[in-house]
A and B are shown apart, each in its own frame.
Chain A
């Protein structure tokens, strides 16, 4: 039975990775899961300098989901290279570094610093709804998406995944723009912009007023978008959005995802990733399927 998948020449031992921002740099969850069991660890967004993030409250629960407006707090590329990357490199898993910036220059500085670092892939976050400049502004304009993809590709030493936002009318436009810019893969979806109001205090629950919706509540939207993009582009797709169980992960794979990422589920089940890997293996066995790759995009 084969569980491994390939993305842009990088072989993942299984198709399950962590979703950026929900797993830190793996350190905290290493107490709960053997990181070597994972297909890949995707890090929290890394910028060229430390980012302080947004004021609190930064999170709010919603039915079957949650809103977050962390604001991409991160310790910056220097600390990442000195502390977090050596930690991750101890494990037998692929390392995908999620990159964020306010401007093209900031993204490119991080990409250049990573060029000779032991990193397997880059994921470029052009879809964060929680920062004022940068982030999502690159993801909602197809011209900007194609341009930044091309600039990143010129400098990147590793394969490049462009992370897309669902906060657009037609996500396949963004997917094609990334493909045209030379992206090696795309990942989707980032969070859906949402809001929660406290009727007792008659105020916003989040200090940022709006936040990104994630968790089981967004899964059907994400599956639909992965399916649409799979019909629109040739490059591999990493599917995410509300994945909690092996069944959820298989839905994304059948819709056309080569790999999947688990985010919010880590918060209520720190062992979600490894349980999903085991569940996928059981599914293959029970259904006498030899190779996970035969399921990718099998539902048309």
Chain B
């Protein structure tokens, strides 16, 4: 039977202002994890009931470890940011479907991500058996994080909203710029809705297969409560209405399946 696991904190550091990198050890979670999946983290403060969904940034299957990179957003993530090596945290997962890596095999893969959508792309870049991977990463400003970790696994393109580093504009703009000389054969994207909508539009206009990782407020995180749905183009096989559960059928969807 599945259960909430206790994971040991291996290390935590603030890798950029308000952005934390947390390594956790739990063999059950790490053992079956795939790129693009997420875990539920539970708070210690009993007033904060609901799990916080956080994507897997890296998976070390040999050591039974996972890496989470998250932004301090509110009280829950603030609580997590105080975790120190040797502490424990309650975690459930891996949850959701992850990116369809087999679809990218032998193709030129673009990973397009913005802000706190960047972390799940790292393990995706590591696991992709693509014919080449380009990671297009959009940041607010020159306060960039994780980009160095990608260098060994992908060609990196960086953009910033304020133009203080790399291409000025969001990651969708940087995608279009870069694609002019190197056309993607498949695109995976993660980040704010405006970014996803722009990437979807670009992919459709250019006839490129595209997969998007969606975000929605969750309560159960396991598919039971129907809190986390996103609008779908067709009637879904499980819900029998035009929406899909991000925590179960997602978080990754083929772009055409989703209405943005």
* Of B4, B42, B223, B239, the contact of A28 (CB 8 Å cutoff): B223
A53 to B246, CA, bound (A): 15
B241 and A68 contact, CB distance less than 8 A = no
* Of B222, B229, B241, the contact of A270 (CB 8 Å cutoff): B222
A24 to B247, CA, bound (A): 14
B240 and A50 contact, CB distance less than 8 A = yes
Interface residues of A in 37-59 (CB under 8 A from B): 44, 50-53, 56-59
- Taking A73-B241, A76-B240 as contacts, is the C-beta distance between A61 and B220 under 8 angstroms? no
A73 and B229 contact, CB distance less than 8 A = yes
A68 to B2, CA, bound (A): 26
Query: From residue B246, how far is it (CB to closest CB) to chain A in Å?
Result: 9
* Of A34, A70, A268, the contact of B226 (CB 8 Å cutoff): A70
- Taking A56-B230, A61-B48, A79-B240 as contacts, is the C-beta distance between A68 and B219 under 8 angstroms? yes
Determine if B82 is an interface residue (Cβ-Cβ < 8 Å): no
Q: Mark B20-58, 1 if CB is under 8 A from A, else 0.
A: 000000000000000000000010001111110000000
Q: Mark A191-206, 1 if CB is under 8 A from B, else 0.
A: 0000000000000000
Query: From residue A217, how far is it (CB to closest CB) to chain B in Å?
Result: 9
Query: From residue A154, how far is it (CB to closest CB) to chain B in Å?
Result: 29
Determine if A36 is an interface residue (Cβ-Cβ < 8 Å): no
Determine if A121 is an interface residue (Cβ-Cβ < 8 Å): no
Q: Mark B215-259, 1 if CB is under 8 A from A, else 0.
A: 011111111111111100000001111110000100000000000
Q: Mark A55-94, 1 if CB is under 8 A from B, else 0.
A: 0111111011110101001011001000000000000000
- Taking A73-B239, A79-B240 as contacts, is the C-beta distance between A267 and B2 under 8 angstroms? no
B224 and A24 contact, CB distance less than 8 A = yes
Which B residue's beta carbon lies closest to that of A78? B240
- Taking A31-B1, A31-B2, A75-B240 as contacts, is the C-beta distance between A266 and B229 under 8 angstroms? no
Determine if A264 is an interface residue (Cβ-Cβ < 8 Å): yes
- Taking A32-B1, A32-B3 as contacts, is the C-beta distance between A266 and B220 under 8 angstroms? yes
Query: From residue B136, how far is it (CB to closest CB) to chain A in Å?
Result: 27
Q: Give the number of residue pairs across the A-B interface with Cβ within 8 Å.
A: 114
Determine if A134 is an interface residue (Cβ-Cβ < 8 Å): no
Number of chain B interface residues as a range: 20 to 34
Determine if A284 is an interface residue (Cβ-Cβ < 8 Å): no
Which A residue's beta carbon lies closest to that of B239? A75
B226 and A61 contact, CB distance less than 8 A = no
B241 and A59 contact, CB distance less than 8 A = no
A191 to B220, CA, bound (A): 17
Determine if A228 is an interface residue (Cβ-Cβ < 8 Å): no
- Taking A64-B49, A68-B219 as contacts, is the C-beta distance between A267 and B225 under 8 angstroms? yes
Q: Mark A262-279, 1 if CB is under 8 A from B, else 0.
A: 001011111100000000
- Taking A31-B2, A50-B240, A52-B243 as contacts, is the C-beta distance between A64 and B227 under 8 angstroms? no
Query: From residue A43, how far is it (CB to closest CB) to chain B in Å?
Result: 11
A68 to B217, CA, bound (A): 11
A79 to B236, CA, bound (A): 12
Q: Mark A19-41, 1 if CB is under 8 A from B, else 0.
A: 00111100111011110000000
Determine if A216 is an interface residue (Cβ-Cβ < 8 Å): yes
A267 to B4, CA, bound (A): 11
Query: From residue B236, how far is it (CB to closest CB) to chain A in Å?
Result: 9
B217 and A59 contact, CB distance less than 8 A = yes
A59 and B49 contact, CB distance less than 8 A = no
Interface residues of A in 77-118 (CB under 8 A from B): 79
A57 and B217 contact, CB distance less than 8 A = yes
Which of B47, B226, B248 has the largest count of A CB atoms less than 10 A from its CB?
B226
Contacts of A267 in B (CB 8 A): 49-51, 219-221, 225
Contacts of B223 in A (CB 8 A): 24, 27-28
Query: From residue B73, how far is it (CB to closest CB) to chain A in Å?
Result: 11
B224 and A23 contact, CB distance less than 8 A = yes
* Of A52, A60, A79, the contact of B217 (CB 8 Å cutoff): A60
Query: From residue A21, how far is it (CB to closest CB) to chain B in Å?
Result: 7
- Taking A32-B3, A215-B49 as contacts, is the C-beta distance between A56 and B224 under 8 angstroms? no
B220 and A28 contact, CB distance less than 8 A = yes
- Taking A53-B226, A68-B227, A73-B226 as contacts, is the C-beta distance between A59 and B239 under 8 angstroms? no
Contacts of A79 in B (CB 8 A): 240
What are 22 A-B contacts with C-beta separation under 8 Å?
A27-B223, A28-B222, A32-B222, A33-B1, A50-B240, A53-B229, A53-B241, A53-B243, A56-B216, A58-B228, A58-B229, A59-B217, A59-B227, A65-B49, A66-B219, A68-B225, A68-B227, A76-B240, A264-B49, A264-B219, A267-B219, A270-B4
Other than A23-B224, A34-B1, give 20 A-B pairs with Cβ distance below 8 A.
A22-B220, A51-B241, A53-B226, A56-B228, A58-B228, A59-B50, A61-B50, A65-B49, A68-B219, A70-B226, A73-B229, A73-B239, A216-B46, A264-B49, A264-B219, A267-B49, A268-B51, A270-B92, A270-B222, A271-B4
Residues of A at the B interface (CB closer than 8 Å) are 21-24, 27-29, 31-34, 44, 50-53, 56-61, 63-66, 68, 70, 73, 75-76, 79, 215-216, 264, 266-271
